[in-house]
Structure 1
């Protein structure tokens, strides 16, 4: 059964918009707002805490969601100082909309696309072809038009000649963490997430296979144009790229740039 992504997107925009209004109302001069892809949630919470320890005068406010949704929020005036996306296309859109400084854009991590199934599932596909089987009724992923994980999944399915067949079974999620939740609750037969997302629920999901992608799964980060905390934002970006920041990312399963396939 196909879930309306438009409804999910509207809900996401409302929730993020409401959250950003609260952020704006409570923001202080020493608060740095970082808008980052949902798949970075655990790693960036740890990075934010570590950064605050080294910069006791700064409070890092983290805003997570689908990369394209976050970018659109910034375009519409939501406060942000740093933007980190889960693919290059989302950052390309941010550059085209002139909401980030392209001179500060740098790739800082790599990931992998994986196909997961519920932990207790008897279905354990070893190829994408298995998703086209009649017994597979629901497959979770995100809208390729709006969410990076959806773009990676669509590219892989198109390369395998399976896009139409699997898309007909899609249960669209608002972001990669929602796709993970659908699988963990057994609401779908399988789902596409990043390897780092699957790793946070080993007791509820299993990785059936690592899925080759047409483009490497890489994460860019940049300074939001017009940031009122540009110096702090650049320092945060530098910390993410530093050995200390990279060690935290590695702890949560992210790979160094250049190792993505």
Structure 2
């Protein structure tokens, strides 16, 4: 009997000790987060950080008229979806006009010219932010006629046979400068210019030919591709007759929105943006 009482007492003491130490109930544990949960949280955090990092702003670009379709239809919507805090507003005209507007103080953040001449002029005046100028695209110079007229021509030089001709103004329109260069080198400038109407930008030249008010003209290949049913490309400017049509991009030194301008400039150099350009007929500048 005495031995039984001692054993029962020891069992009781052991039970009390276990209860005091929590041994009477297994400690509760919190399940470790799954890989999917960790990934989701990390992605959400990254998106929130990105959104906070982009301050709401409107970036103004001044771009050659031949770039308008690529920008308005695809590139700007793509960029604004990627950076919802930044709005892009574009002005599209001849590069010479845009250069003048920038020189006169227009609040432009980024300039995209259809020729190096205008960009270099601004750069020489210290108006382009250091290290931001880049030759991005190349275009081709082509002789076009109104659809239905193509049977009368077979070579670039045949433009001299057209009754009425449309060219860009070589004083301010890059495509006009390229046109004059090519025709001068082919000894055709005097003959052709005598029956030419000069447009204020390449879009105007394209419209005159597509509408038939001019039977022939010289534009960029990318512009001709916009109206395949209304104009026909007869030929490219002969090799060696004209300089390469290079499109440089640069950020204005006194840009009101340098952060947004930098992001947009970087986006224009991305693979996804370059695909839009090449789909539109441009090629990457070498």
Given the two structures, how large is their TM-score scaled by the length of structure 2? 0.77
Give 2:13's aligned residue.
none
In the alignment, does 2:278 pair up with 1:242? no
Give 1:38's aligned residue.
65
For residue 192 of structure 2, the aligned residue among 162, 166, 173 is 166
In the alignment, does 2:101 pair up with 1:58? no
Shift in alpha-carbon separation, 1:253–1:84, aligned structure 2, 3 A: same
C-alpha deviation, 1:98, in angstroms = 2.8
Bigger mean CA deviation after superposition, 48-57 or 119-128: 119-128
Give 1:72's aligned residue.
100
C-alpha distance in 2 between matches for 1:239 and 1:43 = 14
CA displacement 1:53-112 (0-9 Å, x = unmatched): 110001000110000101101111111100000011111122133322242100111110
Q: Where do 1:92-111 residues align within 5 Å?
A: 92-111=120-139
Is the CA contact 2:129–2:251 (under 8 Å) kept in the aligned structure 1? yes
For residue 132 of structure 1, the aligned residue among 120, 137, 160 is 160
Bigger mean CA deviation after superposition, 92-101 or 165-174: 92-101
Shift in alpha-carbon separation, 1:61–1:158, aligned structure 2, 3 A: same
Q: Where do 1:150-229 residues align within 5 Å?
A: 150-212=176-238, 213-229=241-257
SS of 2:283 mapped into structure 1: coil
SS of 1:161 mapped into structure 2: coil
C-alpha deviation, 1:215, in angstroms = 1.2
Shift in alpha-carbon separation, 1:123–1:187, aligned structure 2, 3 A: farther
C-alpha deviation, 1:29, in angstroms = 6.0
C-alpha deviation, 1:130, in angstroms = 2.0
Instruction: State the structure with bigger RCO (CA 8 A, min sep 6), 1 or 2.
Output: 1
Unaligned runs of 5+ in 2: 1-54
C-alpha distance in 1 between matches for 2:95 and 2:215 = 25
Give 1:149's aligned residue.
175
C-alpha distance in 2 between matches for 1:111 and 1:122 = 22
Give 2:40's aligned residue.
none
CA displacement 1:31-54 (0-9 Å, x = unmatched): 000100000011122211111011
C-alpha distance in 2 between matches for 1:138 and 1:98 = 42
Unaligned runs of 5+ in 1: 1-27
